[in-house]
Amino acid sequence: MQEMCSIHIVCSVHIPVGYRRAGSRMDGGKEWIDRRTGMDKPTHLIEFETMLLGRYLTMQVPRSKRDGSNLDRSAYTLLSRISIDGPMSIGELADAFGLDTSTLSRQTSSMLNSGLVERISDPEGGMARKFRITDEGARKLEAERADNIVGLGQVMEDWDPEDVATFASWLQRFNTDIERLAGRPWPRT
């Protein structure tokens, strides 16, 4: 008598909690979609990761100073732009950032009261007054930038230098493509 044995092969796939299979059994779908984020395409993952990046940058990557002297995000961005372009009017800032003049009036008023910028007559003789960075504003901008660079260095300290350069290149490409689509290129020095 010959002994018969049957082997049952059970394939199981571990699906992390919160995930579902993309497609049905009938279409052979092999991708997994995170139910919480719906990330079934690379663009979904990019959207999610840029949302997190914005959150982390808002939290300000590990910083050396926590005494409240950090610039807020709008002041940092406005000062950065004025430092590249030189003195700018509210209208020029509105065009550059695509924001309402009322929003920029509030932001520049706060910067003016903090001594980060000063109002000057248009150096080119125009009617509008312009905002110029003060010495204090330039000092705080450079200190903030230096802290940001140190913080980013801490985050990427274990990265291969080539990976850091590649990431920087792709990030610049991503940003310039956004600027191109928005019609608001950011000047790069």
Residue 11 lies in a domain: no
Number of domains in the chain: 1
Residue pair 36/105 in contact by the 8 Å Cβ criterion: no
Instruction: Establish if 33 belongs to a structural domain.
Output: no
The answer to whether position 83 is within a domain reads: yes
Q: Which of 55, 93, 101 is nearest to 77 (CA)?
A: 93
Residue 98: which CATH number? Answer: 1.10.10.10
Residue 176 lies in a domain: no
Whether residue 50 is contained in a domain is answered as: no
Rg (C-alpha) for the chain, rounded Å, is 25
Residue 20 clears pLDDT 70, i.e. is over it? no
Residue 119 φ then ψ, to 5°: -90, 135
Domain with 111 in it: 73-146
Is there a domain that residue 95 lies in?
A: yes
CB-based contacts of 65, cutoff 8 Å, min separation 6: 147
At 164, is the secondary structure helix, strand, or coil?
helix
The least confident of 10-19, 40-49, 59-68 is: 10-19
Report pLDDT digits (tens) over 50-99. Answer: 888 888 876 655 555 555 568 888 999 999 999 999 999 999 999 999 99
Q: Which residue has the tokens 């309402």?
A: 100
